[in-house]
Structure 1
Amino acid sequence: MGLAERRAAERFKNEDYPQWATRIEEAAGFAVPVEVFWDELAVNDYADSYAEFFPQVYFQPLVDALAGVTIDQLGRDALRAGLTRIIIRNAGDYYSDSGFSFIDGTLTIDHRPDTNVAYGEERAESLRKLLESGL
């Protein structure tokens, strides 16, 4: 990761992510801790695309999945009781939902930021199903 990638990731983290953090909290119905491994998300040669890729790959699908779980009081209560933190990373070179896990209250989204960008609805559905099966 070069300087351009570090700058772009830092810009997204400081300028765009705070709004996404608010949306995540609103969708969940509580302040769930979110740990983003920004250095892993900042892949080479895509610095100009982070503002497009990060929301489509990680944040919008997460918001949609949380909103899908919390459509009723039962879902809101189950999520609050069962979800303790969210990890967003790009460690395993995953480009599908095979990099998603929900273990011991931790939802992990491990996905390449530059692959299958347009499949956000599918990611959201996979995340929702994963959460619902583990709650």
Structure 2
Amino acid sequence: MGLTERRAIKAFQENKYPKIKTELDTVAGFAVPVEVDWDTIMAVSEGYSEQYEENLPKVFFRPLIEACKGICVDDLGKEALKEGLKKVILRGESSYTMPSFEYGTLTLAYPITSWADSWTTKRDEIQAVLEKGL
């Protein structure tokens, strides 16, 4: 990964990520521990840094936030999410993988250069895997 990718990630981290993280925490009703593997995101999307600002929210964050909204429609869902979700791991992957939820850790690993507009599919998959495991 080159300087262009590192600059684009840094700009996203400083300008977009804090607001997104605040929205996630608000929807979930607690400070959700999120571990973003920026290096893998850059590695699988080298040469596509101009897509970070638009695609990172659509690939990872919008589906996650919307899935949490779907779970937190009532007190039972809010409680289950707060008690059961211990950490979220986000990482870049060269091919589409299904979300996993094991031992309180939700892992999302996606390519950011494709599937960006299928956020509703991702939302449904994330919500289903969380509801099954909570």
Q: Same fold (TM over 0.5)?
A: yes
- Corresponding residue for residue 122 of structure 1: 121
SS in 1 for 2:46: coil
Q: Please list the CA deviations of residues 8-31 of structure 1 after superposition, one character each: whole Å capped at 9, or x if unmatched.
A: 011101110000000110111100
Runs of 4+ in 1 over 6 A off after TM superposition: none
Q: Distance in 2 between matches of 1:41 and 1:125?
A: 22
Q: Distance in 2 between matches of 1:48 and 1:90?
A: 16
Q: Which runs of 5+ in 2 are unaligned?
A: none
Q: CA deviation at 1:51?
A: 0.5
- Corresponding residue for residue 16 of structure 1: 16
- Corresponding residue for residue 95 of structure 1: 96
- Corresponding residue for residue 76 of structure 1: 78
Q: Please list the CA deviations of residues 87-118 of structure 1 after superposition, one character each: whole Å capped at 9, or x if unmatched.
A: 00014x2324x2x1100000000111111111
CA RMSD of aligned residues (A): 0.9
Q: Distance in 2 between matches of 1:134 and 1:106?
A: 10
Q: Distance in 1 between matches of 2:114 and 2:76?
A: 34
AA partner of residue 62 (structure 2): Q
- Please list, as runs of the form range in 1=range in 2, the aligned pairs for 1:21-32 lying within 5 A after superposition: 21-32=21-32
Q: Distance in 2 between matches of 1:37 and 1:13?
A: 12
SS in 1 for 2:67: helix
AA partner of residue 15 (structure 2): E
AA partner of residue 123 (structure 1): K
User: TM-score scaled by structure 2?
Assistant: 0.95
User: TM-score scaled by structure 1?
Assistant: 0.94
- Please list, as runs of the form range in 1=range in 2, the aligned pairs for 1:37-76 lying within 5 A after superposition: 37-42=37-42, 43-76=45-78
AA partner of residue 31 (structure 1): A
Q: CA deviation at 1:41?
A: 1.2
Q: Distance in 2 between matches of 1:66 and 1:94?
A: 24
Q: CA deviation at 1:4?
A: 0.3
Q: Distance in 1 between matches of 2:32 and 2:80?
A: 13
Q: Distance in 2 between matches of 1:40 and 1:22?
A: 23
Q: Which runs of 5+ in 1 are unaligned?
A: none
Identity over aligned residues, as a percent?
39
Residues paired across the two proteins, number: 132
Q: Distance in 1 between matches of 2:41 and 2:13?
A: 11
